[in-house]
Structures are given as C-alpha cells and as structure tokens.
Amino acid sequence: MSEIAANISVDSQDEVLPSAMTVALVQLALACGGFGIGTGEFAIMGLLPNVAETFSVTTPQAGYVISAYALGVVVGAPVIAVLAAKMARRTLLLTLMLIFAAGNISSAMAPTFETFTLLRFVSGLPHGAYFGVAALVAASMVPVHRRARAVGRVMLGLTVATLLGTPLTTFFGQSLDWQVAFFSVGVLGLLTVALIWFYVPKDRVSAEAGFLRELGAFRRPQVWLTLGIAAVGYGGMFAMFSYIASTTTEVAMLPETAVPIMLVLFGVGMNAGNFIGSWLADKSLLGTIGGSLVYNIVVLTTFSLTAANPYLLGLSVFLVGCGFAAGPALQTRLMDVAADAQTLAAASNHSAFNIANAIGAWLGGLVIAGGYGFAATGYVGAALSFLGLFVFAASLRLERRDRSAQAI
C-alpha cells in the first residue's frame, strides 16, 4: 500500500471516527449534490432537439452546449482546487453548490443560444471540484479499508441520476418544456446546500495548506498516469452513450419512446457497477482498474456487433453502464498517489472523465460522419479502452520500479 494510504490508516486509528448515523447523513447530503450534477450533465443529451428548436439552431449546433459544460468541468476542477486551497472543505462544498444552482436556474431563463451556452459552461465549473472534495470528506470519515465504498456512496448520487434523474427530466422536458429540467436541477442544488449546511461537520484548514502544495500533485507522474487512464481508457463509454438515442431509433429501429428505457438500462448498469466496483476496489484497487479496462473492450465490441437487435442492444447498454465500476477505484487511487495534494488530484479526476467524454463523443462523431454508422461507436470505445491498458501498464511499471528502489 502506498505511503499516503498508510498515513491515512494511522490517522484513522488515532482519531475517533464519527458514528454510523453521522456518516450516513453526510454521505446522503453529498450524494444529493451528485444526483443534481449527474441529472444536469446528462439530461441535455435527451433534450438537444428541443433546445435546438427553441433557439432555431441545428441539433449538431445545439450539441455545443455539451462541450461547453464539459469544458467548464475540465477548467473548473483544477482552477478551483488551487484557488480554494485555504478554504475549509465544508465551506467550499457550500460555495460550489450555490454556483451550480445559480448556473442551472439561469440556464432555464437564458434568452439566447449564446447565453445558454455560456451558462452551461458556468454550471460545469463546480462539477469536478465538488466530487473531488466530497470524496475526500467521505473517505476521511471511515477506516482506510472502507474508503472506496465511502467514495462509491457519494458517487451513487451520480449513478442514480442516470437511472432516475435523467430519464425523468428527459420525459418531462419533452412533454412540458426543456427549461423545466434545468430549473429542477437548480432546485436540487439548493436542497444540497441545505443538507450540507445541516449535516456536514465543520472542518479546520491545515496550516500547511496552500496553492503551491496543491500544485505539487502535478509533479507526481502517477497522478498524470492515473488521470490518463481515465481520460483515454474510459472515453468509450461516452462514445457509445452520446449517440444512444440515434442508435436506438436508427439502428435497432425502435420508437423514440424507447430512448428513456435505454437510459434507464444504462443507469441500472452504472449503479450496479458503482456498487460492485467500490467493493472490489477495497479488495484490489489496481486489479479493479485493470480488469474494468479489459471488461470495457469486450462489452463495447459486443455493443457494435449486436446493436441492431433491440433486446441485445438493451443488454449491451446495461453492461456498458456497468463499466462505471472503475469510478470509485480511480478516485481512491488518486488519493493514494497525490500525497499531500489530494484536493487538486481528486478534483482533476472528473476533468479527466470529461476529457474522456469529449474525446469519445468527438471520435464517435467522426466514425459516424465517415459512414460507418451509429453502431460503430462501440468499436471506437473498445479501441480507447485498449489504449487505456497501455497507460495502466506504464503506471504499474513505474510503481514496481519505485518499490524496487525503496527496497534497496
């Protein structure tokens, strides 16, 4: 186990851990924020045609708002983590959720497409920093051998969003008005502010905390390699998911009403993967990461081969969703390799996943535009997971070399 993990173990033994009820309430409050963020991030994918019609743009042009949100996550996570290095974690969580709520409520009232795109960028800024800090808070309240499961419970909000939040907002957004979806997400943000205020205990900032210490995370090769695994190896999930609506209607020849069903199946898979993956990560962190990359190669290839069959498409969508098993493992791995710069590293994990989102959607779009069809996005995803294995292998090699050096 790494040095930082050992340090956490010692700290956990020296300090009196909070009661199980306190831990559960904190995890519930943090997961509520994850539910709001996940709903806001993914709901737009099912509402792009409605947004395009409102602002008189094409659906591909409306897709720019997805990129704007992802860019907000990529930029916001490291910048906020550095600038807020001397801020108490509870205060930072409250601030991030207020920004998120304001961004989404304002998105619902945007007068022009340009304004809406800018507000989606603003809404994405707190995303990575929130999940990173929330994961650190949750992990600090449990014994070291249960950290990944604590992180998984926080991320449960994100996975439940794909199961309930996204399909529901897609349905009501299509039936009523897409603005209702973003207003609802803003209300969830405000609810999270209240829950964090009441249940997350106040904390003290370390005297050594500062932006220079946080920036030290980027001097560690293992931080870059772990972020690289996320950015490259898990773009495949997004290559498939970004075009799932068109795959459902144009490849499997199902009606538009089947799209929410596919979203639910993907959400069920993400929840199953989050639960199983966090448990496995506490048993074998690196084994879970490497195993999930191999798993993704298999299921994404199967997706492309079976997409024309409605039943096998549904099964494949569920299995691809299960690939989220690596989420808690990668988040916990970053805690281990970042040493005393954990906030920046933990927040940057979600920047890496949004880079994966952008890469996957972009490459998937290129393959579709090249005439290979929507089902070919699975092959794109399998190729990205295969490349991710090389990054993972480099991380393993470096870790073994460092262990050998320490043993001398």
Per residue in 10-36, pLDDT (tens digit) is: 344 445 667 778 888 888 899 999 899
Per residue in 170-224, pLDDT (tens digit) is: 777 777 788 888 999 999 999 999 999 999 888 776 655 555 565 666 677 888 8
| Number of Cβ within a 10 Å radius of residue 304 | 23
Can you say how many angstroms the Cα of residue 79 is from the centroid of all Cα atoms in its chain? 18
Question: Which among 143, 390, 393 is positioned nearest to 286, based on CA atoms?
Answer: 393
Question: 392 vs 160, which has greater pLDDT?
Answer: 392
**Alpha-carbon gap, residue 196 to 128, rounded angstroms:** 17
Query: Cβ distance 201 to 90 under 8 Å?
Result: yes
Averaging pLDDT over each range in 257-261, 370-374, 381-385, 396-400, which range is the top one?
381-385
> What would the mean pLDDT of 321-343 be, rounded to a whole number?
79
Q: Whole-number mean pLDDT of the chain?
A: 83
| pLDDT beyond 80 at 45 | no
pLDDT at 293: 94
> What would the mean pLDDT of 351-378 be, rounded to a whole number?
85
pLDDT at 116: 92
- Asked whether the CA dihedral 400, 136, 282, 145 is positive or negative, the reply is positive
> What would the mean pLDDT of 368-392 be, rounded to a whole number?
90
pLDDT at 211: 55
| Number of Cβ within a 10 Å radius of residue 168 | 18
| pLDDT beyond 90 at 401 | no
**Alpha-carbon gap, residue 193 to 340, rounded angstroms:** 27
pTM: 0.77
pLDDT at 6: 37
Residue with tokens 């539910």: 35
> What would the mean pLDDT of 137-162 be, rounded to a whole number?
80
pLDDT at 4: 36
| pLDDT beyond 90 at 385 | yes
- List the single range of 59-73, 267-281, 316-330 with lowest mean pLDDT: 59-73
Can you say how many angstroms the Cα of residue 92 is from the centroid of all Cα atoms in its chain? 19
**Alpha-carbon gap, residue 186 to 374, rounded angstroms:** 33
| Number of Cβ within a 10 Å radius of residue 287 | 12
